Structure 1
Amino acid sequence: MSAPGTHPTPSDAPTGPTAVAPSASVGADPKRKPRRELLAASVGSVVEAYDWTIYGVLAPYFAEQLFPGSSPTARLIAAYLGFALGFLVRPLGSVIIGRLTDTRGRRFGLTLTVGLIAAGSLVLAIVPGHAAIGIGAPLIVVAARLVQGLSVGAENPTAAAYVTETAPDRHRYFYSAVSYGGVVLGSALSFIVLSVLLGVFGEAGVEDGAWRLAFVFGALLGLTALWIRRGAAESEVFAEDARERGGVSPWPVLRSHLRQLAVVFGIASGATTVFYFLTVDFPAYAQDAGAASKEEASGALLLGMAALLTGMLGAGRVADRIGALPVLRIGFAGLAFGSVPLLAGMVAGRVPVQLVTVVLLFLLGMPLAVSNVFVGRLFPPAVRAVAVGLPTALAISLFGGTFPALAELLRSADHGDWVPWWPAITCAAALLASWGVREHPLPANPIPE
């Protein structure tokens, strides 16, 4: 294999239908700044996760002003419908913007996605209320969320393609972990902003309009990310590949990678189901099971999120030494076979709720850490953004966006004890899917201690 700072030679590149293209890694050109490129990729993940999550967090506070309805419950349901519609367009965004990223360049895609989601936040910050413009208010809100859904559908695969092509060989999975860690930080930031608003304005003040400040903050955060990304260098791998391929259609390439597309879908399905179970539904599950109150479970999730970030960074370091597949498989195996017994122990009062969140989110951090670069390297640069984005967005829409509703349906039918089985089953499927591809070659030189 090639030494750090060089492209792998043909003899180093894997072969066969599941191998990554020889140009999947780029060396350390003295003029390039890998850390600046990592920052450019990661900052968008923070903005994406914050702007996407803050809508759901604030919906109970702005639903009264922006949505019509015969009761507060009807208005809140309408607000959540706007949240759900954003999920539906994510696959479309992964195709449209992903294709632009694969033709116009990684930097173009990075700036477009963060610009769109920031624009959506700005619209949500200034949209007049339902009392002022009637049905126009919810229509504007839904339009803004659809734009953000298109952006979010392409943001992570675009960042994944960029990190795949710019990360140093010896630290590729650590860079992958850092770039995906922005999603965790952005989600946590949304709850921090809500806590600050409630502390400063109180619940009544937030409902009266202080909620708009959270969207203003999201827009400013997006503009900052846009400035950072505009100064980032274009991927050398993309530029070289674009010169060589000319105007070749990507669809034959995608058809020749159907196995890899299925593997990405399987991996994303397992990860997103567990993520939404633990970060969205877990407080309701714990309270319904009598294991903890919603407040106690939410507090335990703070420890779990810290464990998630720790697990991701540690798993990235380990994967750079031993490969991504062992790390990914250990995480999914632990979730597939350990989550149901661990949660049963929590319900029985034998396992503290804090320990449950820490263990499960730490295990989830293992596949999340390596996924950005690992799945990116399954595809050639000509289709990388689309090929990563489409199956991932479909998995999130089908498994992540629907999980809270599925869990609530099971609880309403007195089958709340069935809820943990669905994440466990999807993780078992993800574990099986991981055997559909081979490990990428590791750098020849070990990482220094």
Structure 2
Amino acid sequence: MTTTETGRHAGGGLPAAGAEAATTAPAPARRPRRELAAATAGSVVEAYDWTVYGILAPYFAEALFPGTSPTAKLIAAYLGFALGFLVRPLGSVLIGRLTDTRGRRYGLTLTVGLIAAGSLCLAVIPGYASIGLAAPLLVVGARLVQGLSVGAENPSVAAYVTETAPAGHRYFYSAVSYGGVVLGSALSFIVMNVLLGVFGESGVEDGAWRYGFVFGGLLGLTALWIRRGAAESGVFTAAKEPKTRAPSPWPVLRAHLGRLALVFALTSGVTTTFYFVTVDFPSYAESAGAAGKEETSAALLLGMVALLAAMLGGGKAADRFGALPVLRLGFAGLAVGTVPLLAAMTSGRIPVQPVTVVLLFLLGLPLAVSNVFAGQLFPPAVRAVAVGLPTAAAISLFGGTFPVLAELLRSAGHNSWLPWWPALTAAAALAASWAVHEHPGREHPVPVTPHA
């Protein structure tokens, strides 16, 4: 069966997305490094700004939120974290639609500009003691703006990399661009450690936390400059009909409900582990008596190196052998290994460092290929919206609520229940991966066909 026939069988008359992209605009012989740099830079900003809010929340909650209980203030700050997630699906539709109609570069510059603006706003918000309820409202407003933009950032990058990466290297380019998420997360912990080293814990609580958001804003402006100089996707330019009004994406999306569900399941599997390890893990380890927050934060930097290595290696492997073996290996390891590893850590049999490295290495395998894997499931005309909607919904449901869930479980004395959540979602993602066939080839590496 040819790739075009495969896509027609799977998608209600539509060719497989990988085949459509290849026939619309053949991959260029050159290596589009400028385009890859533009995609990666925005991923760094997205991950840094999103993660730094979570790790700085214990330090700014006292200054920006009302109440007399430190726990209540922290939960309020984490609710602001969750609200940013709730608007991600809306952002994936609104800004993703602009990316599909006005261009990949337009969407990429818009998202990173809004993320930078939100970070700079958080840096200068006066405290609750100065402006009262306006302080938490401004925090929520900044997070909503960032949530809208982040909801479209990742799918816009997925569409852009899918269409600009050279054939035979698409998954490696996916790994590099998504590696920006790893670098951004690692950078947030580096900045946190620098702030603690320079100002001390009390100094960070007294206002030095603002420097973390200032740095994020400046980082975003740098990424904006890089993206403004990148070329538009040739696939988008070739597929666009300037004189015709863009058709509604909803009929096409309804024809691809199975693929949307698949992207939702795969995203859920990586999201819970990612937010558990990168955001909540220091608090989890401290509550379990396994390690202090500073030791765990240092271990996370080592784990980020393992995560990045797994992503680069996984991308190379997926270009050669296909994405599904790489996805399944990572999800199987997380499903089977998360609970035993963390039980061994809390009992003192295994130190926090190797546990962190193993979990993040396993997570790196599906993260390496997920962007392009999802992007090639859908035709270019709806690619950003089609990838963004299920991705944002899954991240909102499984990522945005995780810090609040973790804090509530800890306050109720059930800290040991937390590892089961990422393990179960990884198992569900593994099961969902068997709903597709993959037909890798050198020229068209990822036509993916759901079972009839």
Same topology, TM > 0.5 = yes
**TM-score for both structures, normalised by structure 2:** 0.90
Structure 2 counterpart of 1:315, which letter? G
Structure 2 counterpart of 1:153: 151
* Secondary structure at the counterpart of residue 170 of structure 1: coil
Amino acid paired to 1:285: Y
Shift of 1:33: 5.6
Q: Report if the CA contact (8 A) 1:13-1:20 is conserved.
A: no
Contact preservation (8 Å) 2:105, 2:232: yes
Deviation at 1:345, TM superposition (A): 3.2
Residues matched between the structures, number: 438
Preserved CA contact (<8 Å) 1:93 1:149: yes
CA distance in 2, matches of 1:148, 1:121: 8
CA contact (8 A) 1:50 1:190 kept: yes
1:93 paired to 2:91 = yes
- Relative to structure 2, which stretch is displaced further, 104-113 or 135-144? 135-144
**Contact 2:84/2:400 (<8 A) preserved:** no
> Does the aligned pair in 2 maintain the 1:180–1:369 contact within 8 Å?
yes
The reply on whether 1:76 has 2:74 as its aligned counterpart is yes
Q: What is the CA-CA distance between 1:444 and the residue it aligns to?
A: 5.1
* Alpha-carbon distance in structure 2 between the residues aligned to 1:332 and 1:183: 19
Deviation at 1:93, TM superposition (A): 0.7
- The corresponding residue for 2:449 is none
Give the direction of change, closer, same or farther, for the CA distance of 1:291–1:220 in structure 2 (3 Å limit).
Answer: closer
- The verdict on how the C-alpha distance between 1:226 and 1:132 changes in structure 2, with shifts beyond 3 A counting, is same
Shift of 1:191: 1.6
Aligned to 2:58: 60
Matches within 5 A, 1:281-360: 281-360=280-359
The amino acid of 1:254's aligned partner reads L
1:194 aligned partner: 192
Aligned CA distance change for structure 1 residues 441 and 16 (closer, same or farther; 3 Å): farther
Please tell me whether the aligned partners of residues 18 and 444 of structure 2 are also in contact (alpha carbons under 8 angstroms).
no
String of CA shifts for 1:334-381, please: whole Å, max 9, x gaps.
111222233333344433332222112111100000001001000001
- TM-score computed with the length of structure 1 as normaliser: 0.90
What secondary structure does 1:438 align onto?
A: strand
| Separation of aligned partners in 2, 1:335 and 1:279 | 15
Describe the SS at the equivalent of 2:240: helix
How many Å separate the matches in 2 of 1:194 and 1:343? 25
Any stretches of 5+ residues in structure 1 without a counterpart? 2-8
Q: Is the 8 A contact 2:112 2:149 kept in 1?
A: yes
Q: Contact 1:101–1:158 (CA<8 Å) still a contact in 2?
A: yes
Q: Give the stretch that moved more between structures: 357-366 or 32-41.
A: 32-41
For residues 402-423 of structure 1, give each alpha carbon's deviation from its aligned partner in whole angstroms, at most 9, with x where no partner exists. Answer: 2233344444444443322221
Alpha-carbon contact 1:13-1:22 (below 8 Å) kept:
no
Residues 260, 387 of structure 2: 8 Å contact kept: yes
Kept in 2, the 8 Å contact 1:12–1:441? The answer is: no
The answer to whether the Cα contact below 8 Å between 2:167 and 2:443 also exists between their aligned partners in 1 is no
Q: Residues 112-161 of structure 1: CA distance to partner in whole angstroms, max 9, x if unpaired?
A: 00010111112122223333333222222211111011111111111011
Higher deviation after alignment, 104-113 or 55-64: 55-64
Secondary structure in 2 aligned to 1:243? coil
Q: What CA distance in whole angstroms lies between the structure 2 residues aligned with 1:292 and 1:61?
A: 20
**8 A contact 1:49–1:187 mirrored in 2:** yes
Q: Distance in 2 between matches of 1:40 and 1:330?
A: 30
Q: Which residue of 2 aligns with 1:102?
A: 100
TM-superposed deviation, 1:14: 4.7
Offset from partner CA, 1:427-449 (integer Å, 9 cap, x none): 11101111222225321599xxx
Query: What does residue 16 of structure 1 align with?
Result: 9
